[in-house]
Amino acid sequence: MVHELTDAVGQPQNLVSYHLGKLRDARLVLARRSSADRRDTYYTIDLTCIGVLLTAVGVGLHPGLRLTPPVRGFAGPEAGTTRVLFLCTGNSARSQMAEALAMARSHGVVEAHSAGSHPKPLHPNAVRVMHERFGIDLSEQRSKHLSVFTQQRFDRVISLCDRVREVCPEFPGQPETIHWSIPDPAAEPGDNEATYPTFQQTAGELETRIRFLVAGLTNRTNLQTDDPKEEP
């Protein structure tokens, strides 16, 4: 939201809004109205688009500047895991999908859990899209109330829903809190077949976000576990 950005950068709101408009025009930042009260606007940076542009600029300047992932030793479970809790209202789709993707994509770097403020049964389309798109089986998963985890420690608590963000409790240890404003695919009108494309879109957005989340956590873990080099 704009007021959070102004606090973060220490600049007046009109200046921040001006630059946000320029970034939106360039399609580097996306904006969406809050589904909770329709008053707030959430801004999301398109990291995939920026990555493509940076790669193109590097290659355009010199082939040796092509961006490649850093080569580092793989930090598995023995290097320590990061506990992440994903929250949404029903714990029937978004947070369940995010939990499963984080576990599958992190190779032990992330221990993921999910819960909801008003749990509902797992949505059939969430099970279907995770199986068809990623080969991940959610059929045995069950929805949980966020109170199950309020006494547990997490490194990050990620809310996927504008409504649950408003009621998110405090967790022990003051974990880093992150908000991903993602529309609820289960709220779309129509039967399961009609709403399935929305679940596919949600799965794609979650996959992108989880990929960047895991990359950041993996890089941080690798940096923490590298042996210090002695000065000659």
Query: pLDDT band at residue 221, thresholds of 50, 70 and 90?
Result: low
Is 81 found in the same domain as 61?
no
Is 131 found in the same domain as 103?
yes
Domain for residue 227, yes or no? no
SS3 call for 178: strand
Secondary structure string (H, E, C) spanning 74-108 = CCCHHHCCEEEEEEECCCCCHHHHHHHHHHHHHCC
Torsion, Cα of 41, 44, 49, 55 (10° steps): 140
How is residue 156 written in tokens? 């990050």
E runs forming strands in 117-187? 156-159, 176-179
pLDDT for 78 beyond 70 = no
pLDDT score recorded for residue 232 = 39
Condensed to tens digits (0 to 9), the pLDDT of residues 89-139 reads 999 999 999 999 999 999 888 999 999 999 999 999 999 999 999 999 999
The total number of structural domains that make up the chain: 2
Is 92 found in the same domain as 37?
no
pLDDT for 220 beyond 70 = no
CA distance 202 to 129: 10
Domain for residue 70, yes or no? no
Q: Which CATH number goes with the domain that contains 8?
A: 1.10.10.10
Report percent pLDDT > 90 for the chain: 52
pLDDT for 174 beyond 80 = yes
Condensed to tens digits (0 to 9), the pLDDT of residues 25-35 reads 887 887 877 77
pLDDT score recorded for residue 65 = 64
Q: Which CATH number goes with the domain that contains 195?
A: 3.40.50.2300
Nearest to 154 by CA among 174, 181, 180, 179: 174
Range of the domain at 126: 77-222
Q: Residues with catalytic annotation?
A: 88, 161, 168
Domain for residue 192, yes or no? yes
CA distance 215 to 77: 15
